[in-house]
Amino acid sequence: MSGGLAVAVRELRHLPSVWRAPRRDPATTRRLALAGVNEMLAYCRERVPHFAGDAYAGGPLRSLDELATLPTLTKREVLDAGVEAFHAPDLPESRFRTDVTSGTTGTRLTIRHDVDAYGYHGATVLRRFLLSGYRPWWRIAHIKPFPRPTRWFQRLGLFPRVVVNAGQSEAAIARDVLAVRPQLIMGYPVVLRGMLRSMDDGDLTALRRGLRLVMTDSELLTDEVAALLGDRFGVPVYDEYSAYEVLTVSSGCRAGSMHVDEDRVWLEIVDDDGVAVPDGTAGAVVVTHFRERAMPLPRYRLGDRAMIVPGGCPCGSGLRRMKLVDGRTNDFIELPGGRRVYSGVFLSLAMYTPGVAECMIRQDASGEITVHLVPDAPGPAAFAAASQAFTTAFAALVDEPVPLRFVEAERIELTPGGKGRFVESAYRDGGRPVSGTAG
């Protein structure tokens, strides 16, 4: 069987189960997830070297709440232990595929995903598209900093996609997107905002003639930015939250909620000690991809902050809802009194401060804060006015005046993965930079 056909078979055979998952009642979803977690933990204890110690020696969990008795894992801990300790040693190369994390935290990690788990994930991606209202023949303009592989279904003429280079100028991105005449645009929020700034009313009118959807991913999408994109593009905006280590965690629905892929991952929101916080309370994201066998990472900290949204969703899905908040757990500056200000604050400032298009914040080891500011209009006077407005708005948000240094920028610096880099700080970490993206 060819590689493309094998992938197609793995994805298609999971579709019936994947399609049923949002329609299950929450109790059934939890029961199936608990069974999946216990199967993965038994596999880890038996076959994966890292999990042979006392910390994982217990029997099956009686409830998902008992996950909290196990340690959490971070990228740094995996690297320090050696990634080989997390590999199933007898798994042939034909049974897994390799990904490398984007490096936005300053460190790359090589990940293995077994082909069966990857096939199930592929089926959930199809679910995401179809539930959004996307039709498989619609043209896609996918704004990315690197080429994307051609999938088996694209060879059949389905999900036709043109990759637009995110590294070029915003005007060039807009030109290339218009040339695609897309029904769907996919891209990072910071790139989409930049593209919109470069388009005039005629460009937007031409784009809207065929456009039906916008999909975002990889950055914190605040309510304000989602509303801006929806208003300017004139179509619904669907977000997605994923990481190379665990693949998709959640995706947007027609009611505007983000539903967790609970048929393949279990999400916990925890405090600094790894203890679960109540629904509706912000904390650190911990994910267990319980279908994974090639490189299982139970209770893996993704470095983001989120909350579980209590209650059901008008869309009818029985999967829990989550909401990203603030930005990454290390994506903040620290004021002299110890107060943390996360990237979400600066995204809001860029949205609502007169004269400000975008901003990126750097804090050095001495605590000095530099704002790399993209003004809405050219010229020294516009930059000076935007800087003053930003200073005033920031002081009002944090309830104290804060000295800021400003540097004019043409656009926000992008990470190697093409995401917007919004906060970088060395102030709290002994002089070693700690950087992150918004989301």
Number of DSSP helices (H) and strands (E) in the chain, helices first: 10, 20
Is the distance from CB of 160 to CB of 137 less than 8 angstroms? Answer: yes
pLDDT of residue 431: 39
Count other C-beta atoms under 10 Å from residue 26's C-beta.
12
- Which of 180-189, 256-265, 341-350 is predicted with the least confidence, judged by mean pLDDT? 341-350
Residue listed under structure tokens 């665990």? 246
Q: Residue 193: pLDDT above 90? A: no
The residues, any chain, with a CB within 8 Å of residue 144's CB and separated by 6 or more, are 163, 164, 165, 166, 187, 418
pLDDT of residue 404: 94
Percent of the chain with pLDDT over 70: 92
Q: What is the pTM of this model?
A: 0.82
- Say what the alpha-carbon torsion angle 44, 55, 299, 284 is, to the nearest 10 degrees: -170
Mean pLDDT of the chain: 88
- Which of 147-151, 241-245, 255-259 is predicted with the least confidence, judged by mean pLDDT? 147-151
The residues, any chain, with a CB within 8 Å of residue 114's CB and separated by 6 or more, are 88, 91, 95, 96, 292, 293, 294
Residues 424 and 359: their CA atoms lie apart, in Å, by 12
User: pLDDT digit string (tens) for 397-439?
Assistant: 888 889 999 999 988 776 655 566 778 888 864 334 444 433 3
Kindly list the structural domains of the chain, giving each domain's residue range(s) and its CATH number in brackets, ordered by start. 2-121+242-326 (3.40.50.12780), 332-425 (3.30.300.30)
Mean predicted confidence (pLDDT) in 335-347: 80
pLDDT of residue 73: 95
